[in-house]
């Protein structure tokens, strides 16, 4: 056992650093490395310091590059060259689509072809995990480890980032306690904490579901606007309350409340998406313009929590066939899909229709 943080713990530090605007260093075994800064949280002083170290590029996802008409030579991403005359405002306009329509970016943008995109790819992965806009300034360095040590920056192997993206962090039970609720007096709230320093997730157990029978279950993704504020733009609030009510009526069930706000992009980015929706884009187009995929959630967490609580089979309350497929892939048998169609209204009809047309939701 060592006191030093392992690579997963270093990733948690890196996420926190990027959110504050502090750079992180990525290292390759051959000694080559890169300084990475989030485009969203970068300031002018740090950009100037980064420019003294080498030639920065702005890493963008292929989704964002498509909107900006930048060539994504690396497939899933583009490394856009940063002209010497342009600075922070230009980088932030590349990253943030808020003003795309009012002030379109003046191109053409020049994308880098040569070299390895591994640093840029890891940088975008870290930005997404930090729930920042997926855009980063990346400067390749010869003496990256020395820079990290001298400046006190978090340094981690670039391979650790790609490896972590493939795995789902183990979730550990922290505590559970009785919680009488309006929907069911016999309620119990369990808290789970991931090893990787990410968001905690919750399980709400209603009654005493038999572990040897299929449990009436729901994987509910956090929606602050719908669940708490009663937003009419989505169906989350009525789905949450409808699921709990059905479990209460049956006397048993399990609702997993997964802290994957905004289909995994975080509340700030979801509000950016809402702003784009006010400009006429639908929910999927808005995610793409921001540089995200339609859905950035990791549904493996739900399967892991079901298993951890002793369940092997479920009757799943959902309209999303991807949730069913993912649970099955992760070893939970879904014996029945129980539709959950509640809360349709004037404000969310187009949103629900888009989910059906583009994301495969069943109406």
Ligand X SMILES: Nc1nc2c(ncn2[C@@H]2O[C@H](COP(=O)(O)OP(=O)(O)OP(=O)(O)O)[C@@H](O)[C@H]2O)c(=O)[nH]1
Distance CA 85, CA 283 (A): 35
Bind-site residues for Zn(2+): 223, 234, 236
Query: Can you point out the beta strands (E) in the chain?
Result: 24-27, 33-38, 57-61, 77-81, 135-141, 154-157, 171-178, 187-194, 201-206, 215-221, 253-258, 313-317, 333-338
Q: Are strands 154-157 and 313-317 parallel, antiparallel or unpaired?
A: unpaired
Q: Does 283 bind ligand X (CB under 6 A)?
A: yes
Contact (Cβ atoms closer than 8 angstroms) between residue 241 and residue 183: yes
Centroid of chain to Cα 358? 19
CA 116, 118, 121 angle in degrees (round to 5)? 130
Please indicate whether residue 17 is annotated as part of the active site.
Answer: no
- Please, which residue, 64 or 270, has the CB nearer to ligand X? 270
Contacted entry of ligand X, Zn ion, none for residue 11, CB cut-off 5 to 8 Å set by kind:
none
Distance CA 4, CA 291 (A): 34
Which of 61, 154, 169, 260 touches ligand X (CB under 6 A)?
260
Which of 265, 305, 306, 314 touches ligand X (CB under 6 A)?
265
Q: Does 223 bind ligand X (CB under 6 A)?
A: yes
What does the block give as tokens for 65? Answer: 């590059």
Catalytic residue among 294, 295, 298, 353: 295
Which of 137, 273, 306, 332 touches ligand X (CB under 6 A)?
273
Supply the minimum distance, in Å, between the C-beta of residue 271 and Zn ion: 12
Taking residue 4's Cβ as centre, other Cβ atoms within 10 Å add up to 6
Centroid of chain to Cα 119? 19
Q: Does 236 bind ligand X (CB under 6 A)?
A: yes
Q: Does 64 bind ligand X (CB under 6 A)?
A: no
Which of 216, 291, 323, 334 touches ligand X (CB under 6 A)?
323
Q: Does 222 bind ligand X (CB under 6 A)?
A: yes
- Please, which residue, 63 or 263, has the CB nearer to ligand X? 263
Binding site for Zn ion (CB under 5 A): 223, 226, 234, 236
- Please, which residue, 216 or 223, has the CB nearer to Zn ion? 223
Please indicate whether residue 297 is annotated as part of the active site.
Answer: yes
Residue with tokens 């051959």: 30
Supply the minimum distance, in Å, between the C-beta of residue 13 and ligand X: 26
Active site residues: 295, 297
In the complex, the residues that contact ligand X under the rule CB under 6 A are: 220-223, 234, 236, 239, 260-263, 265, 270, 273, 283, 287, 318-320, 323, 361
């Amino acid at each position: 056992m060592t006191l030093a943080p392992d690579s997963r713990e270093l990733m948690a530090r890196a996420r926190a650093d990027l959110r504050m605007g502090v750079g992180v260093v990525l290292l390759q075994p051959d000694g080559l490395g890169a300084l990475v800064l989030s485009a969203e949280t970068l300031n002018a002083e740090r950009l100037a310091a980064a420019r003294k170290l080498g030639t920065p590029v702005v890493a963008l996802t292929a989704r964002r590059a498509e909107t900006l008409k930048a060539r994504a030579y690396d497939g899933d991403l583009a490394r856009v060259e940063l002209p010497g005359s342009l600075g922070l405002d230009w980088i932030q306009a590349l990253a943030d689509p808020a003003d795309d329509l009012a002030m379109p970016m003046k191109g053409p943008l020049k994308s880098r072809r040569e070299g390895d995109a591994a640093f840029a790819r890891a940088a975008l992965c870290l930005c997404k995990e930090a729930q920042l806009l997926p855009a980063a300034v990346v400067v390749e360095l010869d003496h990256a480890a020395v820079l990290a040590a001298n400046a006190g920056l978090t340094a981690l192997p670039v391979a650790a980032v790609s490896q972590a993206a493939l795995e789902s962090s183990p979730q550990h039970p922290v505590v559970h306690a009785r919680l009488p609720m309006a929907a069911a007096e016999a309620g119990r709230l369990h808290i789970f904490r991931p090893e990787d320093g990410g968001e905690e997730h919750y399980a709400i157990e209603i009654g005493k579901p038999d572990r040897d029978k299929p449990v009436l279950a729901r994987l509910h993704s956090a929606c602050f606007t719908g669940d708490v504020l009663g937003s009419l733009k989505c169906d989350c609030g009525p789905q949450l309350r409808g699921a709990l009510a059905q479990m209460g009526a049956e006397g048993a069930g399990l609702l997993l409340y997964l802290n994957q706000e905004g289909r995994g992009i975080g509340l700030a980015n979801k509000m950016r998406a809402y702003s784009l929706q006010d400009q006429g884009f639908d929910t999927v187009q808005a995610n793409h313009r921001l540089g995200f995929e339609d859905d950035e959630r990791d549904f493996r967490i739900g399967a892991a929590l079901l298993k951890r609580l002793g369940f092997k089979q479920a009757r799943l309350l959902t309209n999303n066939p991807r949730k069913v497929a993912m649970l099955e892939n992760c070893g939970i048998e879904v014996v029945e899909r129980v539709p959950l169609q509640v809360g349709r209204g004037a404000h969310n009809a187009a949103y629900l229709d888009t989910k059906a047309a583009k994301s495969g939701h069943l109406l």
